[in-house]
Amino acid sequence: MEFHLISEKHSFDSCFEVFLADTPESKLIHYNLRYQVYCDEMGFEDKDKFPDQMEIDDWDSQSAHFMVRHTHTGQWLGALRLVSQVSSAFPFETKCVPTTPITPDQYQHSMELSRLCVLREARRFAPRSFAEQASDETSNIRYLSTLRNQNRSIMWGLIRAAVVYSSQNDITQMYFLVAPALALAVKKEGFAMRQVAEACDHRGQRIPYSLDVADVLANSLWETDYRFEYRRYSEMDESNVDKRQRA
């Protein structure tokens, strides 16, 4: 498939792992990852509003937070959150109005996937052989493709964890406000996305979609990779973490 890593040796499961941030310490890691992407790298948020370098908002108090790290170094590379509704609203509804109103029952069994981000630092973890080959235009194109594939692979790993978590918590539907290019990437992997409102202007054009959790779980993307789902940060083996960080 288009967004898989180049070889089994560099599969997501062999290189990365996803954690549910279920402790105060791990949530700070999550908020800082978002700060690095949304404030430092992309300039979407005003960094002066976050002097502690923690990008956080009112939705976080009702969210489940996920992060991905490089297994062998312990480097944190990406994050996303799942938001539960409060007062009959999701974050995307502050930007656009659903074509069909969301019912109380749908709110109860839905979450919104948001703040999906991957650090530019993730490019350091591309297969070294491809970096070494990037000496001419053709090789550079292949290397850039490898970087994009790796970023997408990290994204899929985070989404896989979020969907499994949703299924475990009686969530049947997820909402997702995305740029057209990312929506196309998701559709190309065979995920059925249903547009739920008109496109809106939010850091460029964004389109709100819904995804059926059972449909996402049944996708063949998960048959050969992304099989470890996620672990809780509170269950992390600290001695193993220290060993990996010293490697």
- Rounded to the nearest integer, the mean pLDDT of the chain is 84
Q: What percent of the chain has pLDDT over 90?
A: 71
Domain membership flag for residue 21: yes
Residues 202-231 have pLDDT tens digits of 989 999 999 999 999 999 999 999 999 999
Range 87-95 average pLDDT: 88
Helix, strand, coil fractions of the chain, as percent rounded to 5: 45, 20, 35
- Residue 165 pLDDT > 90: yes
Q: Is residue 14 part of a domain?
A: yes
CA within 13 Å, CB half, 207: 13
Residue 12 lies in a domain: yes
36 located within any domain: yes
pTM here is 0.84
Q: Which domain holds residue 218?
A: 8-246
pLDDT of residue 242: 45
Give the dihedral sign, CA 185/78/164/110.
Answer: negative
- What is the C-alpha to C-alpha distance for residues 110 and 243, in angstroms, rounded to an integer? 39
Do residues 50 and 129 touch, judged by C-beta distance below 8 A? no
Statement: residue 240 has pLDDT above 60: no
Judge whether 2 lies within some domain: no
3: in domain: no
The total number of structural domains that make up the chain: 1
Q: Give the CATH number, domain containing residue 12.
A: 3.40.630.30
Q: Which of 95, 94, 63 is nearest to 80 (CA)?
A: 63
